[in-house]
């Protein structure tokens, strides 16, 4: 173990030196040979261009495509794309945008690299744990293409800073994972009049579409008045918070966000080089099912004539508080429900003492079967929260009436409160003191009682 620790320290030092040298190379190349030789800055790239030798050699395989060509490559090299989220979607999307030669890639994320990220967030490695995701991603992108400008924003995109960042870019990629971010990015895209390439992935499924496309910015369009639907056209009101899933709560197969993220990059490339709305996922959505390996394309509703964000009579003229609008937090890791009163909650030390006593006690773990199979507290019974109201709440309420004390547990102390409340609602006031949930869930149990209990 000592030798492993020594090697890890030595590798960390070498990696830091490598990152510094790559950053030096990157900075030098920003002022080096341009990607074209006969077109001045700001010229119309619909006119024939002569790409530089290095650009032809590097991007030749995509320049050969008639739908891209030399002019399309020049547009890519001059384009600016903002990727919001350096996670499972943002990593593959940014990787392929950098490889394609997109001139500037901005990356926004407030989080740091965690061990649980590495099975799907492919720009990060084991040595990046604890590093901000945007700087880890930027280092990786500069290694892929040192001629691309990478701008990291180590912050949470919020109403007070979103417009200043978004206005610097031509295309916006939504690689976020929560409703407040999705509504904010949609509104920011509409205010900036730029297209939004929106992707999502959960479990074995993913989806992708393009919101807010405007034909007047594309000379290849026959009808310059065409405008595609935005996110609010389809979803004017947010879903209830309890109906929203997340990768950390429900899991995701790594290749699924990989597939969607790569397709987000492809749509961004097509937007930049001038594909028309019929060729893009405008007014259409791809649904990917990894279980049976199928893609379906569904037609979306047309643009709403009274949409609050994109119609002629829009009411959204600035960004608002989206956590209040969605009744949900923008940071999944900060989620902390507070449903039960203090008398129906128990801390890890109190639960440890209770488990070692002779009291008739039932420990109910409401995580799903896969999570319970990974790790559990000895003696716990598994009653998953999905279907709990129908299958288990009445049975457990009857056990309380027969003299059992019950403590509900889950991973973070959120679902356990929901399950406990379902049982409490069936009990007389005199029996409710026997039903509790573990504050902080198994994360708190690992931190305070059993340091060998795995955190995921």
Query: Hey, which residues are catalytic here?
Result: 247, 410
> Cα separation of 394 and 388, whole Å?
9
Do the strands 405-409 and 361-365 form a parallel or antiparallel pair, or are they unpaired? parallel
Tokens of 45: 């790239």
Q: What is the CA radius of gyration of the chain?
A: 26
> Cα separation of 194 and 210, whole Å?
11
CA neighbours within 13 Å on the CB side: how many for 357?
A: 11
Q: Find the helix or strand (DSSP H, E) in which 209 lies.
A: strand 205-211
DSSP letter at 131 equals: S
> Cα separation of 258 and 199, whole Å?
11
Chain centroid, CA 455 distance in Å: 20
- Collapsing DSSP states into helix, strand and coil, what is residue 51? strand
Query: What sections of 45-132 are H helices per DSSP?
Result: 53-63, 69-77, 90-100
> Cα separation of 289 and 208, whole Å?
12
Name the residue among 332, 411, 440 with its Cα closest to residue 111.
332
How many residues are given for the chain? 456
Q: Find the helix or strand (DSSP H, E) in which 345 lies.
A: strand 345-346
DSSP letter at 430 equals: G
> Cα separation of 419 and 365, whole Å?
10
Do the strands 205-211 and 284-289 form a parallel or antiparallel pair, or are they unpaired? antiparallel
> Cα separation of 29 and 38, whole Å?
19
Cβ atoms 311, 304 nearer than 8 A: yes
Chain centroid, CA 38 distance in Å: 41
> Cα separation of 438 and 125, whole Å?
34
- Collapsing DSSP states into helix, strand and coil, what is residue 299? strand
Number of other residues whose CB lies within 10 A of the CB of residue 171: 22
């Amino acid at each position: 173990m000592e030798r492993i620790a020594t090697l890890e320290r030595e590798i960390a030092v070498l990696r830091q030196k490598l990152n510094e040298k790559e950053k030096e190379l990157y900075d030098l190349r920003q002022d080096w040979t341009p990607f074209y030789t006969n077109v001045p800055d700001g010229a119309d790239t619909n006119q024939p261009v002569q790409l530089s030798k290095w650009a032809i050699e590097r991007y030749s395989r995509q320049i050969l495509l008639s739908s891209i060509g030399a002019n399309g490559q020049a547009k890519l090299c001059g384009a600016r794309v903002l990727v919001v989220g350096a996670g499972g979607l943002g990593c593959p999307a940014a990787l392929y945008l950098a490889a394609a030669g997109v001139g500037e890639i901005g990356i926004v994320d407030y989080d740091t690299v965690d061990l649980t990220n590495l099975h799907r967030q492919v720009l990060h490695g084991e040595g990046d744990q604890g590093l901000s995701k945007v700087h880890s991603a930027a280092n990786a992108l500069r290694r892929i293409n040192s001629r691309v400008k990478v701008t990291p924003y180590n912050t949470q995109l919020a109403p007070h800073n979103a417009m200043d960042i978004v206005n610097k870019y031509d295309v916006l990629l939504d690689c976020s994972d929560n409703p407040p971010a999705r509504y904010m990015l949609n509104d920011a895209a509409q205010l900036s009049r730029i297209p939004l390439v929106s992707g999502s992935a959960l479990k074995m499924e993913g989806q992708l579409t393009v919101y807010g496309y405007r034909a007047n910015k594309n000379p290849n369009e026959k009808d310059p008045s065409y405008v595609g639907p935005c996110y609010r056209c389809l979803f004017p009101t947010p879903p209830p918070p309890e109906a929203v899933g997340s990768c950390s709560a429900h899991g995701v197969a790594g290749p699924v966000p990989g597939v969607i993220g790569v397709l987000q990059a492809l749509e961004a490339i097509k937007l930049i080089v001038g594909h028309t709305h019929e060729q893009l996922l405008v007014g259409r959505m791809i649904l990917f099912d990894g279980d049976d390996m199928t893609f379906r394309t569904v037609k979306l509703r047309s643009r709403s004539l009274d949409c609050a964000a994109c119609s002629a009579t829009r009411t959204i003229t600035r960004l608002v508080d989206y956590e209040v609008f969605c009744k949900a937090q923008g940071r999944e890791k900060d989620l902390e429900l507070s449903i039960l009163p203090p008398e129906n909650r128990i801390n890890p030390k109190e639960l440890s003492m209770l488990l070692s006593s002779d009291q008739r006690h039932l420990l109910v773990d409401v995580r799903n079967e896969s999570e319970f199979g990974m790790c559990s507290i000895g003696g716990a019974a598994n009653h998953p929260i999905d279907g709990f109201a129908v299958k288990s709440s009445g049975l457990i309420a009857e056990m309380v009436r027969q003299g059992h004390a019950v403590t509900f547990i889950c991973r973070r102390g959120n679902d356990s409160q929901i399950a406990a409340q379902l049982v409490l609602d069936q009990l007389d006031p005199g029996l409710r003191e026997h039903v509790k949930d573990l504050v902080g869930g198994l994360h708190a149990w690992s931190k305070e009682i059993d340091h060998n209990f795995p955190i995921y």
